[in-house]
Amino acid sequence: MSQNVDTGKRRFLTAAASVVGGAGAVAVAVPFVSSMLPSAKAQAAGAPVEVDISQLEKGQLITVEWQGKPVWLFRRSDEAIANLASLDSNLVDPDSQLATQQPDYCQNEARSIRDEVMVMVGVCTHLGCSPTYRPELAPEDLGPNWKGGFFCPCHGSRYDLAGRVFLNMPAPKNMLVPPYRFNGDNSVIVGENYEGAA
Ligand code: FES
Residue numbers of the domain that contains 122: 3-190
User: pLDDT of 172-184, one tens digit each?
Assistant: 999 999 999 999 9
Ligand 1 centroid–CA 166 distance in Å is 13
Asked whether residue 195 is assigned to any structural domain, the reply reads: no
CATH for 27 = 2.102.10.10
Q: How does the average pLDDT of the chain come out, rounded?
A: 85
Catalytic machinery residues: 155
| Dist. CA 196–CA 74, nearest whole Å | 24
Pocket test for ligand 1, best of 123, 134, 152 (most atoms within 8 A of CB): 152
Query: What residues does ligand 1 touch, defined as CB less than 6 Å away?
Result: 124, 126-129, 152, 154-157, 170-171
Q: Find the length of the chain.
A: 198
- Residue 198 in any domain: the answer is no
Is residue 12 assigned to a domain?
A: yes
Counted domains in the chain: 1
Query: Cβ contacts of residue 171 below 8 Å, gap of 6+?
Result: 124, 125, 126, 152, 157, 159, 165
* Percent of the chain whose pLDDT exceeds 70: 76
Q: Does the residue 196 lie in any domain?
A: no
Residue nearest (by alpha carbon) to ligand 1 atom 3: 155
